[in-house]
Amino acid sequence: MPRVPPVLIRPVASIRTRMPPAIRVEGLEKDYGDVQALDGLDLTVPEGSFFGLLGPNGAGKTTFINVLVGLVRKTGGRAEVFGNDVEEDYQGARDAIGLAPQEFNVDRFFPIEEVLHHKAGYHGIPEAEAEERAAEALKRVGIYDKRDVRFDWLSGGMKRRFMLARALVTDPDLLILDEPTAGVDVELRHDLWEVITDLNDEGTTILLTTHYIEEAERLCDEVAIIDSGRKVTVATPDELTEKGSDTLTVYCESAIGDAPALDDERIERVAVEGDAIRVRATSASEVVPSVLRQLEAAGHTPLDIDIERTSLEEVFVDLTRREAGADADAESHEAASDSAETGDGDDGEGAGDRVTAEASR
């Protein structure tokens, strides 16, 4: 038996730790004239993860993805895919990515199976293997019997399935899905979830953007929320929901008049509806003893309690609203500073004009 050099029998884990992340972006910027689509985005997507990207419309999600695949040219910062710079090592970066975009950007001249042969060929996959992979990808998404049809003749759901097949045909290490289930029925959505979950189990890194919070909550290991081209937070879905406030409802024996003053700094808000008191708190289960004790001391008789955990959707709305508020504050602060500097504090409109003119230059 030949001797195996020590370097080849390193534990797999130690090799894995040396792998660069699937995506690493630092200070990523993209502007379209006055519009700042990406504003210093920092993000790392670990290899093998199922990573969700959430954000309101216009947050910069699609711009971010298009920078990675070379359809948008960044104006600043750095972006890498498995250690390949998206501009300097663009071939390595693009080879690693399978993309299913929101828009149907499919070659309409050829039957869908041939479109897959071509896509595989562009990635250097020889013809015979490309044919095998195309058949396999179409079977995987359940539209193999439509292989001789052109894209325009597929139904809406089949088109979505095809977009996934095209992303899979090159066997990518990083699968990017830009709202893959937008506008599809529940059955198809579950089918697509199953396919991409299996792929992730097989080791493929998944980057998913979605407007369906339930989708992110159900599928993703980690979620990044971005807004106005910036990262708001990155956390697991559980960690995010813990950031929100729960609602504790205490049902009492009789109707309660005014909301009682409850002395606990963890409590954010108290409201009364008939015989029920609704208490908003960071972690409702921890304030239950304190709330019950104070209600009894005030002469009420609690009969039942109910705790409603905050949803990821509520946290998402809260975080993006807060971000928008911070932006508005910053802008008004900036405008006020400029007014003060120019000595035109009373002439708000004129100062505003000057600020705009300065920004335009």
Partner 1 sequence: MSESRLFSTGTKTLTKREILRFLRRPWNTFLPPFITNVLYFSVFGVILGSRIQEIRGVPYIQFILPGLVVLGAIGNAFENASFSIFHGRWNEYIHEPLTSPLSYRSMVFSYVASSALRGIIIGVLIAVIGAVFTPVHSLANPAYAVVFLLVIATLFAGLGVIGGLVADDFDHLTVLNQFILRPLVFFGGVFYSLDALSGAALTASYLNPMVYMVNGVRYGVLGVSDIPVNEALGVLVALTVVVLAVDVALFKRGYGLTD
Positions in the binding site for partner 1 (CB under 8 A)? 32, 66, 69-73, 90-92, 94-95, 97, 99, 101, 103, 105-110, 115, 117-119, 121-127, 130, 166
d(Cα 50, Cα 205) in Å, to the nearest integer?
Answer: 6
DSSP string, 258-303: SPP----TTEEEEEEETTEEEEEESSHHHHHHHHHHHHHHTT--EE
- Closest to partner 1 by CB, 119 or 146: 119
Rg (CA), the chain: 26
Q: Running DSSP on this structure, what letter comes out for residue 111?
A: B
d(Cα 225, Cα 176) in Å, to the nearest integer?
Answer: 16
Nearest residue to 228 (alpha-carbon basis) of 356, 100, 311, 319 = 319
Tokens at residue 284, please? 């409702």
- Closest to partner 1 by CB, 99 or 267: 99
Tokens at residue 213, please? 């919070």
Please, what is the minimum distance in Å from the beta carbon of residue 89 to partner 1? 9
Please, what is the minimum distance in Å from the beta carbon of residue 38 to partner 1? 12
Please, what is the minimum distance in Å from the beta carbon of residue 203 to partner 1? 17
Please, what is the minimum distance in Å from the beta carbon of residue 71 to partner 1? 5
Rounded to a whole number, what is the distance in angstroms from the first to the last CA of the chain? 73
Please, what is the minimum distance in Å from the beta carbon of residue 195 to partner 1? 21
- Closest to partner 1 by CB, 126 or 203: 126
- Closest to partner 1 by CB, 122 or 251: 122
- Closest to partner 1 by CB, 41 or 225: 41
The answer to whether the CB of 55 falls within 8 A of the CB of 231 is: no
- Closest to partner 1 by CB, 123 or 160: 123
d(Cα 11, Cα 74) in Å, to the nearest integer?
Answer: 38
Sheet with 222-227, side-by-side order of all strands: 97-100, 174-178, 205-209, 50-54, 222-227, 230-235
Residue type, 50: F
- Closest to partner 1 by CB, 117 or 161: 117
Please, what is the minimum distance in Å from the beta carbon of residue 70 to partner 1? 6
Please, what is the minimum distance in Å from the beta carbon of residue 63 to partner 1? 8
